[in-house]
Amino acid sequence: MKLHYRLQQAESSTSTALPVLLVHGLFGTLDNLGVLARDLKQQHSVLQVDLRNHGLSERSDEMTYQKMAEDLLETLDDVSFDKVIVIGHSMGAKAAMALTAVAPERIDKLIAIDMAPVDYQTRRHDEIFAALNAVTEAGIKDRAGATQLMQQYATEDGVIQFLLKSFSQGEWRFNVPVLLAEYANIIGWQNVPSWPHPALFIRGGESPYVQDSYRSAIASQFPQARAYVVAGSGHWVHAEKPEAVLRAIHRFIDVP
């Protein structure tokens, strides 16, 4: 499917840098990596997308990384980008990794933010799903009421405010029933063929998502991978330490 997207042309009229594709994570929208887009658009055209079942993109009963990667490829074709640098966070990082299998020649460099190419087999979002469904079942229309109810599910205030960015007039702008039904696919992973091009894995120092035990899985699928750890940050490393993340990104993509 063609995804809803935002395309910003590079501000520098003389820039010859490759365009950048930004891919958000679970429960997100194209706005989530805005802090990166605002910086990168100085030299790069920047394409931000809403993944399927998120934001203003189409809904589907399927939520696999194969399908997400095919969506990304169709969107690249739609905007006539032959080759891109792709940056993804969390679920979006896995979608970006899956794109290396679907269209390996279309990616120049890959940046995965706080996510590894592994099957996690850990349910970290059950409280969130319970909170989302509670708001829907209660028929709440306003954010204040939604906040009060969601706090009963021990969901952190920062997470609640993030989720409420996709709450409008009593409706969630992500497909809660399908995300719940397809959750095993979202936390899971099917290994992709070895992709022999530059890859950077940015890890939050306090996040559980990228561990030393995953090194072999990363190396077998992305043999040119390098790692960068941002100390004092969790899973939302790009929001918590944007300057550090952008420094790492620029060191990685600004070299020939």
Q: Give the residue numbers marked as catalytic.
A: 90, 235
Instruction: Tell me which residue of 225, 224, 198 sits closest to 210, measured CA to CA.
Output: 225
**Token output for 59:** 């809904």
Q: Do 151 and 191 form a contact (C-beta atoms < 8 A)? A: no
Alpha helices in the chain, H assignment, sequence order: 34-40, 65-78, 91-102, 126-138, 143-150, 157-164, 176-181, 183-187, 215-221, 237-240, 242-253
**Token output for 115:** 């996510």
The neighbour count for residue 104, using CB atoms within 10 Å, is 14
How far is 148 from 153, CA to CA, in rounded Å?
10
**Token output for 174:** 């992500």
How far is 42 from 39, CA to CA, in rounded Å?
6
Q: Are strands 20-23 and 46-49 parallel, antiparallel or unpaired?
A: parallel
How far is 146 from 149, CA to CA, in rounded Å?
5
Strand blocks (E) in the chain: 5-8, 20-23, 46-49, 84-89, 107-113, 167-168, 171-172, 199-204, 225-230
